[in-house]
Amino acid sequence: MRYYSTRNGAGNVSFAEAALAGLAPDGGLFVPEEIPPYPKAVKSSLGSMDYRDIAFETIKPYVRTEIPDPVLEEMVHSAYPFTAPLVPAGDRLVLELFHGPTAAFKDFGARFMARSFAFLRRGESKPMRVLVATSGDTGGAVADGFFGVPGISVTVLYPKGRVSPLQERQIAGLGANISALAVEGSFDDCQRLVKAALADEDLRRRMVLSSANSINVSRLIPQAAYYAAAAGRAEAGRTDPDGEATPRAKGAAGDRMQGSGAVTFSVPSGNFGNLTAGLYAMKMGAPIAAFIAATNINRTVPDYLESGEYKTRPSQATLSSAMDVGAPSNFERMSAHFSWEEMRRVIRGAFVTDEETRKTIEEIRRVHGYFLDPHSAVGWKAADKLREAEGLQAVKAGGPLGVLSTAHPAKFAETVEPLAGPVPVPAVLAKAMERAADSRIIPAEISALLEAL
């Protein structure tokens, strides 16, 4: 498999070169030359296969000839001692992506990425510095995934005062080969600084650099696996039992799954790496009917889907802070694979206000006994708004509706608990809260980042 830049088609590089570089030389994002279909035997078995086997089959064609199958299988089993349960709640399914060590969906990409970097750099003597911009959960997942990996250090940039206290402890509480920079600005500023550093030729001559954001293809591809696994189970009419971290109120009974068939996924979206991974899964053959691009008031992509005109804008702070992105990087990948007309056929957009987010958190806890974090609440409410405005066909009536739950609500207790009451706290988060955050504050200027590096 070869990889090319979204900007001008340049590149023609291997998976290893694309992953370790992070960003293409022209500033674009690497995309594969093709999105390979699942073999027929795999496609027909997605509803019953073990999650790790689906992850192996999803990743394999993208790394063929570079990561031997036995090594890839070991990586996948090491990365995923947890899975992504698909549980019923109300009239829809919730894909719980927070059963990993940092209780956020970013664990799925970051843990595979760390293992692939360690393998691809075997024998290298010069250390690597990984840069990552985060609006919350990415930083914690990357820090955890790379913690203690020999020969690789990580610098995480996050917007000062715009992540939750727990997220800050996950980002800046590990030490060792993980360092943190609190940027006086927005996530867009953090992302801009990382891209500028990666493009700085003088800096690249002095150190080996890469990125761990979803701009890196090695973090994006593994995320397609949980879409395929969930879509296979939904098509077969199957759900999973609650896991240890499932945030269902004590005494609340789980609902029964309603219907089966190709699923529509409502995806809480900020930088749009998650939805892009879903599009990859769909093109590989996972039984997915459509997607809802659910955003907060940072509505760049929903507006584009409506008008066909793409306009970035400064991000605005909201309750769903990880989605406060006005210039989503992965839109480049989406538009590299799909025209506006093609996107409109498989993606509907909707945006949700903070007040609607609050009401959804309160209502779902009261009516269904299920806790939503602010980002998952955006995904839930966006589906409701589309159905109210356009009828059931907007979310593909006849098949199940799934909402991606991207982070555990206990990570946002200061928002959720006044609305829904005490949230059960998973053990991994209770342990993280014991850490002390240690970060350096810098202005949102490339000179400050270069000095810190």
Query: What pLDDT score was predicted for residue 154?
Result: 95
Q: Quick one: tokens of 309?
A: 């005109």
Query: What pLDDT score was predicted for residue 254?
Result: 59
91: phi then psi, degrees, rounded to nearest 5: -95, 20
Quote the CA–CA distance of 64 and 61 in Å, as a whole number. Answer: 5
Query: What pLDDT score was predicted for residue 321?
Result: 84
Query: What pLDDT score was predicted for residue 394?
Result: 45
| H helix or E strand, kind and range, residue 3 | strand 3-5
State in Å, rounded, how far the first CA of the chain is from the last one. Answer: 33
Cβ-count burial 200-221 (b if 16+ within 10 Å, e if not)? beebeeeebbbbbbbbbbbbbb
Amino acid occupying residue 329: S
Give the ranges where 85-150 is alpha helix by DSSP (H): 106-120, 137-146
CB atoms within 10 A of CB 65: 8
Q: What is the pTM of this model?
A: 0.90
pLDDT 10s per residue in the chain (453 long)? 999 999 987 778 999 999 998 888 888 999 999 999 999 999 999 999 999 999 999 999 999 999 999 999 999 999 999 999 999 999 899 999 999 999 999 999 999 999 999 999 998 888 899 999 987 788 899 999 999 988 899 999 999 998 888 889 999 999 999 999 999 999 889 989 998 998 898 998 889 998 887 788 999 999 999 999 999 999 999 999 999 999 998 877 656 666 678 999 999 999 899 999 999 999 999 999 999 999 999 999 999 999 999 999 988 989 998 898 898 989 999 999 999 999 999 999 999 999 999 999 999 999 999 999 999 999 999 999 998 776 545 455 568 999 999 999 999 999 999 999 999 999 999 999 899 999 999 999 999 999 999
Quote the CA–CA distance of 214 and 105 in Å, as a whole number. Answer: 12
Q: Given the structure tokens 């947890």, which residue do they identify?
A: 82
Cα angle 56, 24, 220; round to 5: 25
390: phi then psi, degrees, rounded to nearest 5: -125, 0
Q: Are 157 and 190 in contact (CB under 8 A)?
A: yes
Q: Which residues are catalytic?
A: 106
Query: What pLDDT score was predicted for residue 393?
Result: 53
Q: Are 132 and 213 in contact (CB under 8 A)?
A: yes
The structural domains of the chain, ordered by start, are: 82-104+219-427 (3.40.50.1100)
Query: What pLDDT score was predicted for residue 258?
Result: 61
Query: What pLDDT score was predicted for residue 253?
Result: 64
